[in-house]
Structure 1
Amino acid sequence: MNKEGACLTGSTATNSSNLDAAVALFHSLSDPARLAIVGRLAEGEARVVDLTGKLGLAQSTVSAHVACLRDCGLVTGRPEGRQMFYSLTHPELLDVLASAETLLAATGTTVALCPNYGTRARTGATIDSKESLR
């Protein structure tokens, strides 16, 4: 439910826009690099150079992902001299991630085995009918 008490799965026009916003939120977090950036920023503010060192990604890649998160309203920048320090805009995002971790622990590997979005879908691997689904 959102803060107005409306369920995100409703079918009215208002709930449709809530659903669209939820889809955009989860899509913004669906990239491994963006999720890693959010995880690092959960520890405190950081510059792009700090993020590149931590994530092992090119500066341009990190900058593009930070811009995406900033455009989504999840990250904000604080200028200090010629540097920009980024931080999470809303601490509630940490609650969402904690809930996701709880859900992942409860479902085990089920999400990873999802044929559309799981690990195998990203790598193009197929499940052999004789393979165990541990």
Structure 2
Amino acid sequence: GDRMVYLSKEMCQLLKAWRKECEWDRQQTANETVDEDDYLFRQPNGKPMCPSTFTYRFKLILKANNLPLDLNVHSLRHTNASLLIAQGVDVRTVASLLGHAQASTTLDIYAHAFDKNKRKAQEKLGKAIGL
């Protein structure tokens, strides 16, 4: 479904720089401009990039950085959610960012990410009761 995506200032700067690069590229090759409906990742002819091309390039990045090759683009979604939870972001917010209608879905999928929070909670309880 449709949802609002919030970006950091740094990501906005990167996207603006990418847009300028795309505009320059389009002017050099086709004497065209980039408009609001253009794709972020596209073929030189302006059509959408094939998903397999994106996956191929992702695998090249993994290989170049000695990262596990069994990762996929969807792994980034899981990493993002796990890091948000580990940083203490509330489950409803994480669920909303992931597009989950129910926070319980997020809890079911990312229960493992709460282990660190469980330990912290137990430590706080222990201190509260004088242990």
Q: TM-score, normalised by structure 1?
A: 0.25
Higher strand share: 1
Higher helix share: 2
| Higher radius of gyration, 1 or 2 | 2
Q: TM-score, normalised by structure 2?
A: 0.25
